[in-house]
Amino acid sequence: MTTIVLDHIKGREAAALLVSGRLEDLLIDGNTPRPGTIYRAIADRPVKGQGGMFLRTPDGSAFLRQVKGLSPGQPLLVQITGHAEPGKAIPVTARVLFKSRYAIVTPEAPGLNISRAIKDEEARLRLHEIAQTEMGESAMGLILRSACETAEAEAIAEDIRAMHELAQTVMADATTREPETLVEGDGPHTLAWRDWPAPEERIEAAGSFAAQGVFDEIETLCTPELLLPGGGTAVIEPTRALIAIDVNTGPDTSPAAGLKANLALARALPRQLRLRGLGGQITLDLAPMARKDRRIFEDALRAAFRRDEIETVLAGWTPLGHFELQRKRARQPLSELIA
């Protein structure tokens, strides 16, 4: 059973996704600019050797990578891609997207596209007709998301129209030479509607987090130690430079204990990182296992992250036998949000 719970924590919006009573995702509004926010920013100063540019925004300095042909003082539209580390610039992109539950309008990428998750040919033809009707001769692109497969035609069409009109309005407002917030990023309650599957139950009331056991789950997530299936443990410790994760076999002393603990960690890791809001460089100090078992571990880790929407690169093994990952800082750490 899938349940979406909407509540507030310390006066800020919060949303929890429960599957059969287990917390699968958690969103809490932070105190930094929301990802998805669109600015009219002003180019400030280039960063030599990095191909980037610092920009001025209403919320402070932002950093845009891989800049070409941009001069200081020039206005441009940018969108926040993730949360900035303390003391660092806001990460932004010049590839602005307008995203809702059914439709994503892509001003810089023309063409009509339908989610690959939709396999049924009749459904794809039906959606293509809706897209063509609503977008007309627009030079902007459109992506229809997987939620469209079971949605009513009018709901999809309305979503396309709303995102297309918003995109046209914002893209026409890029020339003024003063920084301005043009679109505020979505909060947790809207994100839950936009990105999570249609729930069998939706609970929206003050105190619902306590009633559904969400606060108990949060309390567990605030401790470094993670109990793994099979008796192993992992300790997840964020540092200033990276996320360090140490895996232990626990009481199991069998020859395969290390591999079993490492596989349990691989399966649990995407959910733990997602719920704890952790990203950046991640180093796994795994339990001892034979070198020949490394491929088994890698396959399990790759399969686990394939179902996770936050971009994560499996960087590979270090000379000391650690495994490294690089994960997008899509969320603010849970420890900061509830402090």
Could you tell me if residue 42 is inside a domain?
yes
Nearest C-alpha neighbor of 24 from the set 234, 228, 309: 309
Q: Is residue 254 part of a domain?
A: yes
22 and 59 part of one domain: no
CB 5 within 8 A of CB 203: yes
Element (H, E) at 194: helix 188-195
How, if at all, do strands 2-9 and 201-204 pair? parallel
Q: What does pTM read for this prediction? A: 0.91
Residue pointed to by tokens 């932070």: 30
Question: How many domains does the chain contain in total?
Answer: 4
Co-location of 310 and 246 in the same domain:
yes
Residues 136 and 52 in one domain: no
Is the same domain home to 69 and 117? no
Both structure tokens of 25: 């995702």
Q: How far apart are CA 272 and CA 277, in angstroms?
A: 8
Examine residue 73 and state whether it is found in any structural domain, yes or no.
yes
182 in any annotated domain: no
Query: Whole-angstrom Cα distance, residue 32 to residue 146?
Result: 30
Q: Quick check: is 180 in a domain?
A: no
Domain of residue 272, residue span: 222-337
Whether residue 49 sits in one domain with residue 73 = yes
For residue 241, the 8-state DSSP code is S
Running DSSP on this structure, what letter comes out for residue 36? Answer: T
Do 91 and 22 belong together in one domain?
no
- Surface-to-core class of residue 132, CB atoms within 10 Å of its CB (0-12 exposed, 13-18 middle, 19+ buried): exposed
Q: Are residues 72 and 150 located together in one domain of the fold?
A: no
Same domain, 331 and 231: yes
Q: What is the CA 276 to chain-centroid distance, rounded?
A: 12
Residue type, 82: G
280: left (phi over 0), alpha (psi -120 to 50) or beta: left
Tokens representing residue 305 in the block: 């992250």
Mapping DSSP onto H, E and C, the string for 84-153 reads CCCCCCEEEECCCCEECCCEEEECCCCEEEECCCCCCHHHHHHHHHHHHHHHCCCCCEEEECHHHHHCCH
Please indicate, yes or no, whether residues 109 and 161 belong to a single structural domain of this protein: yes
Residue 149, in any domain of the structure: yes
Q: Output the domain CATH number for residue 242.
A: 3.40.630
CATH number at residue 68: 2.40.50
Question: Do residue 76 and residue 118 come from a single domain?
Answer: no
Cα–Cα distance between 215 and 28 in angstroms, integer?
12
pLDDT < 50: residue spans in the chain:
none
Q: Cβ(287)–Cβ(250) under 8 Å?
A: no
Q: Residue 81 falls within a domain, yes or no?
A: yes
- Three-class SS state of 177: coil
Please compute Rg for the chain using Cα positions: 22
Direct distance between the N- and C-terminal alpha carbons of the chain, in angstroms, rounded to an integer? 31
What local confidence, expressed as pLDDT, does residue 174 receive? Answer: 67
At position 196, the amino acid (one-letter code) is W
pLDDT at 51: 77
Calpha distance 125→202 (Å, rounded):
32
Spatial CB neighbours of 37, under 8 Å, sequence gap ≥ 6: 59, 79, 80, 181, 183, 184, 185
